[in-house]
Amino acid sequence: MVSNDRVPQSEFRYARRVQFAETDLAGVVHFSWYFRYLEEAEHAMWREAGLSIAPAGRELGFPRVSASIDFHAPLCFEDVFEVHVRVDAISKRSIRYAHTITRGETRIATGSMTAVCVERLPDMRAVDIPDTILAKLLKP
Amino acid sequence: MVSNDRVPQSEFRYARRVQFAETDLAGVVHFSWYFRYLEEAEHAMWREAGLSIAPAGRELGFPRVSASIDFHAPLCFEDVFEVHVRVDAISKRSIRYAHTITRGETRIATGSMTAVCVERLPDMRAVDIPDTILAKLLKP
Amino acid sequence: MVSNDRVPQSEFRYARRVQFAETDLAGVVHFSWYFRYLEEAEHAMWREAGLSIAPAGRELGFPRVSASIDFHAPLCFEDVFEVHVRVDAISKRSIRYAHTITRGETRIATGSMTAVCVERLPDMRAVDIPDTILAKLLKP
Amino acid sequence: MVSNDRVPQSEFRYARRVQFAETDLAGVVHFSWYFRYLEEAEHAMWREAGLSIAPAGRELGFPRVSASIDFHAPLCFEDVFEVHVRVDAISKRSIRYAHTITRGETRIATGSMTAVCVERLPDMRAVDIPDTILAKLLKP
The contact set of B with C (CB < 8 A) is 19-21, 36, 39-40, 43, 47, 52-54, 56, 76-78
Closest-CA distance of chain D to residue A7, Å: 27
In a domain, B1, yes or no: no
DSSP string, A69-118: EEE-S---TT-EEEEEEEEEEE-SSEEEEEEEEEETTEEEEEEEEEEE-E
Name the more confident of D123 and D75: D75
C-beta atoms of D36 and B35 within 8 A? no
> Would you place residue D122 in the very low, low, confident or very high pLDDT band (cuts 50, 70, 90)?
low
The answer to whether residues C95 and C76 touch, using CB atoms and an 8 Å cutoff, is no
ipTM of the complex: 0.92
Q: Is the pLDDT at C57 greater than 90, yes or no?
A: no
pLDDT (tens digit, 9 = 90+) per residue, B104-114? Answer: 999 999 999 99
Chain C residue numbers with beta carbons less than 8 Å from the beta carbon of B78 are: 43, 47, 52, 54
Determine how many CB atoms are found less than 10 A away from the CB of residue C140: 5
Name the more confident of C4 and B90: B90
Please report, for the domain that includes residue D47, its CATH number. Answer: 3.10.129.10
In a domain, A5, yes or no: no
**pLDDT for position C7:** 45
In a domain, B124, yes or no: yes
Determine how many CB atoms are found less than 10 A away from the CB of residue B26: 20
**pLDDT for position A122:** 66
DSSP state, residue B21: G
**pLDDT for position C9:** 55
**pLDDT for position B122:** 66
pLDDT (tens digit, 9 = 90+) per residue, B22-59? Answer: 999 999 999 999 999 999 999 999 999 999 999 987 78
Q: Is the pLDDT at A114 greater than 90, yes or no?
A: yes
C-beta atoms of D20 and C30 within 8 A? yes
Name the more confident of D6 and C72: C72
Q: Which residues contact D26 (CB under 8 A, 6 or more apart)?
A: B54, B61, B63, B120
In a domain, D88, yes or no: yes
Q: Which residues contact D123 (CB under 8 A, 6 or more apart)?
A: none
Q: Is the pLDDT at D23 greater than 70, yes or no?
A: yes
Measured distance CA(A123)–CA(D122) in Å, rounded: 53
**pLDDT for position D7:** 45
Chain D residue numbers with beta carbons less than 8 Å from the beta carbon of A67 are: none
Residue range of the domain that includes A22: 11-137
Q: Is the pLDDT at A77 greater than 50, yes or no?
A: yes
Q: Is the pTM of this model over 0.80?
A: yes
> Would you place residue A139 in the very low, low, confident or very high pLDDT band (cuts 50, 70, 90)?
confident
Chain D residue numbers with beta carbons less than 8 Å from the beta carbon of C27 are: 25
The contact set of A with C (CB < 8 A) is 25-28, 31-33, 35-36, 39, 54, 61, 63-71, 74, 120, 124
Q: In this complex, which of A54, A77, A78 lies closest to D77 when CB atoms are compared? A: A54
> Would you place residue D123 in the very low, low, confident or very high pLDDT band (cuts 50, 70, 90)?
confident
Q: Is D86 helix (H, G, I), strand (E, B) or coil?
A: strand
Q: Is the pLDDT at D1 greater than 50, yes or no?
A: no
Q: What's the whole-number average pLDDT of chain D?
A: 91
DSSP state, residue B129: P
CA angle, C122 then C128 then C130, to 5°: 105
C-beta atoms of C36 and B19 within 8 A? yes
**pLDDT for position B121:** 67
Q: In this complex, which of D43, D47, D78 lies closest to A52 when CB atoms are compared? A: D78
Total tally of structural domains belonging to chain C: 1
Q: In this complex, which of C20, C53, C78 lies closest to B20 when CB atoms are compared? A: C53
In a domain, B82, yes or no: yes
In a domain, A3, yes or no: no
State mean pLDDT over C17-28. Answer: 96
In a domain, C4, yes or no: no
Element (H, E) at C129: none
Q: Which residues contact D67 (CB under 8 A, 6 or more apart)?
A: B31, B68, B69, B71, D35, D38, D111, D112, D113, D114
In a domain, C38, yes or no: yes
The answer to whether residues A38 and A83 touch, using CB atoms and an 8 Å cutoff, is yes
